[in-house]
């Protein structure tokens, strides 16, 4: 709720504090138990930072983060350490996130020896159990990460994340570094594990087709803010925010001839710097529907229809009826 993650900029010999990179700038949403919330946006929009701040891998600048109703935004190290098993992360690049000098068993077992208090032999049982769960051959427990393919390495990363029976996992572009041919396997594995262990996911991705496949609801980020959040089908069938419309219209169609290319929105210009976002709406420098008010007032992120949240002045003027068919009858 109101989550902000600013990184200070220091300049000059005296390292004066001259500004902030507003990577996450006032973001509010819920993630429901058992669901997959997709968090999408172009690279640099703040989605990974948001995921890391939620897990308290960063110290948030402002805002509240509650997990099971418990505030964790400003708790100390001891409390955080107790909460740590509940929430885990699967990283983008399994190559970079696995220690090359550790065996698979040591990597998967590391959280167990730090947090679980299990005996050595119980830990080993658990390691084998986790290897089974993610589809890794137990015989490979003493091998090193470089002996595995990219997809298998991501399975190791997933097994490590599962070691302490978490409830909530942030998956930060978990398939972006993998060959297309094995992306689907890893996504299917994540879906199976979610069912099996009752997991809740925040699934961060720039791949809109993949998010459409895996997410129950989708949040769209632009320049440090969530601009739209909606149930998956609503978002893809009827995007409301001008940025979501542009983003979806840029997804390649399998059959361009059968689709109306005239509806394509090509955005002009570049994303402004997060250290110097525009006045008013963050999207006003590129929005095809920009109005005067957009350059002055930051639109509120609010529920414009049941379950649909948007930050845009276009939707503030026209109060949407709760049931679109009701308007027709009226
Ligand atoms: Fe575009 Fe204005 Fe809506 Fe921002 S508030 S998305 S600039 S119409
Ligand atoms: Mg990222």
- What is the secondary structure of 172-207 as a DSSP string? ESTTTTS-HHHHHHHHHHHHHHHHHHT-EEEEEES-
What value does the mean pLDDT take over residues 272-286? 95
**Rounded Cα distance, 61 and 7, in Å:** 9
Half-sphere exposure of 153 (CA within 13 A, CB side): 23
Instruction: Measure 315 CA to ligand 1 centroid, in angstroms.
Output: 9
Identify the pLDDT of residue 328.
45
Statement: the pTM of the whole predicted model exceeds 0.80: yes
Identify the pLDDT of residue 257.
58
Ligand 1 cavity residues, CB under 6 Å: 242, 281, 283-284, 287, 289-291, 294, 299, 312-314
Ligand closest to 314 (CA) is 1
What value does the mean pLDDT take over residues 243-248? 95
**Rounded Cα distance, 307 and 287, in Å:** 24
Ligand closest to 267 (CA) is 1
Identify the pLDDT of residue 327.
46
| Pairing outcome for strands 308-310 and 225-231 | antiparallel
CB 164 within 8 A of CB 115: yes
CA distances in angstroms from 206 to 65, 212, 238, 258, listed in the order given: 24, 11, 19, 25
**Residue among 313, 315, 316 to mutate when testing ligand 1 (max atoms within 8 A of CB):** 313
Is the model's pLDDT at 268 over the cut of 90?
A: no
Instruction: Measure 330 CA to ligand 2 centroid, in angstroms.
Output: 46
Ligand closest to 304 (CA) is 1
What value does the mean pLDDT take over residues 134-149? 95
| DSSP designation for 295 | G
Domain that holds residue 96: 3-329
Question: Atom of ligand 1 at shortest distance to CA of 284?
Answer: 7
Structural domains of the chain, count: 1
**Rounded Cα distance, 238 and 11, in Å:** 45
CB 88 within 8 A of CB 129: no
**Rounded Cα distance, 291 and 296, in Å:** 10
Question: Atom of ligand 1 at shortest distance to CA of 288?
Answer: 1
Question: Atom of ligand 1 at shortest distance to CA of 293?
Answer: 2
Question: Atom of ligand 1 at shortest distance to CA of 294?
Answer: 2
Dihedral Cα 94, 95, 98, 103, nearest 10 deg: 110
Instruction: Measure 125 CA to ligand 1 centroid, in angstroms.
Output: 55
Q: Which residue's CA is minimally distant from atom 7 of ligand 1?
A: 284
Question: Which residue in this structure is represented by tokens 């669901």?
Answer: 35
* 325 or 165, greater pLDDT: 165
Identify the pLDDT of residue 275.
93
Instruction: Measure 72 CA to ligand 1 centroid, in angstroms.
Output: 33
What value does the mean pLDDT take over residues 74-87? 90
| CATH number (domain holding residue 323) | 3.40.50.300
**Rounded Cα distance, 231 and 35, in Å:** 11
Is the model's pLDDT at 256 over the cut of 60?
A: no
What value does the mean pLDDT take over residues 304-324? 78
Instruction: Measure 26 CA to ligand 1 centroid, in angstroms.
Output: 17
| Pairing outcome for strands 200-205 and 168-172 | parallel
Q: Give me the helices (H) in the chain, please.
A: 47-54, 77-83, 94-97, 104-111, 120-133, 150-162, 180-197, 208-214, 232-237, 242-249, 314-317, 324-329
pLDDT-derived band at 95 (thresholds 50, 70, 90) equals: confident
What value does the mean pLDDT take over residues 117-139? 94
* 92 or 143, greater pLDDT: 143
Instruction: Measure 316 CA to ligand 1 centroid, in angstroms.
Output: 10
Find the helix packing angle between 120-133 and 104-111, rounded to 10°: 110
What value does the mean pLDDT take over residues 189-195? 97
Question: Which residue in this structure is represented by tokens 């069912």?
Answer: 195
Q: Which structure tokens are listed for 276? A: 């110097």
CB 226 within 8 A of CB 311: yes
Identify the pLDDT of residue 253.
66
Local structure of 325: helix, strand or coil: helix
């Amino acid at each position: 709720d109101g989550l902000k993650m600013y990184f200070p900029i220091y300049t000059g010999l005296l390292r004066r504090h001259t500004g902030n990179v507003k990577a996450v700038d006032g973001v509010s949403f819920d993630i429901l138990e058992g669901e997959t919330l997709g968090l999408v946006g172009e690279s640099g929009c703040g989605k990974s930072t948001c995921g890391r701040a939620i897990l308290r891998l960063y110290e948030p600048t402002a805002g509240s983060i509650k997990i099971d109703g418990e505030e964790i935004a400003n708790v100390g190290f001891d409390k955080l350490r107790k909460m740590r098993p509940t929430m885990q992360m699967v990283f983008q690049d399994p190559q970079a996130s696995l220690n090359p000098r550790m065996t698979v068993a040591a990597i998967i077992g590391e959280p167990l020896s730090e947090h679980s208090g299990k005996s050595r032999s119980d830990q080993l049982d658990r390691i084998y159990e986790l290897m089974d769960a993610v589809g890794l051959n137990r015989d490979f427990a003493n091998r090193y990460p470089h002996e595995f393919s990219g997809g298998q390495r991501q399975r190791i990363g997933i097994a490590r994340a599962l070691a302490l029976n978490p409830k909530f996992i942030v998956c930060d572009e978990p398939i972006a570094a993998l060959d297309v041919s094995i992306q689907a396997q890893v996504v299917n594995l994540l879906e199976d594990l979610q069912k099996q262990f009752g997991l809740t996911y925040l699934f961060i991705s720039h791949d809109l087709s993949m998010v459409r496949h895996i997410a129950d609801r989708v949040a769209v980020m632009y320049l440090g803010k969530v601009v739209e959040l909606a149930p998956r089908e609503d978002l893809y069938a009827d995007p409301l925010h001008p940025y979501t419309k542009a983003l979806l219209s840029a997804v390649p169609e399998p059959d361009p001839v059968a689709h109306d290319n005239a509806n394509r929105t090509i955005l002009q210009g570049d994303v402004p710097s997060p250290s110097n976002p525009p006045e008013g709406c963050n999207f006003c420098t590129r929005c095809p529907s920009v109005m005067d008010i957009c350059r002055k007032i930051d639109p509120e992120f609010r529920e414009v229809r049941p379950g649909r949240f948007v930050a845009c002045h276009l939707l503030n003027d026209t109060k949407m009826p709760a049931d679109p068919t009701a308007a027709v009858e009226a």
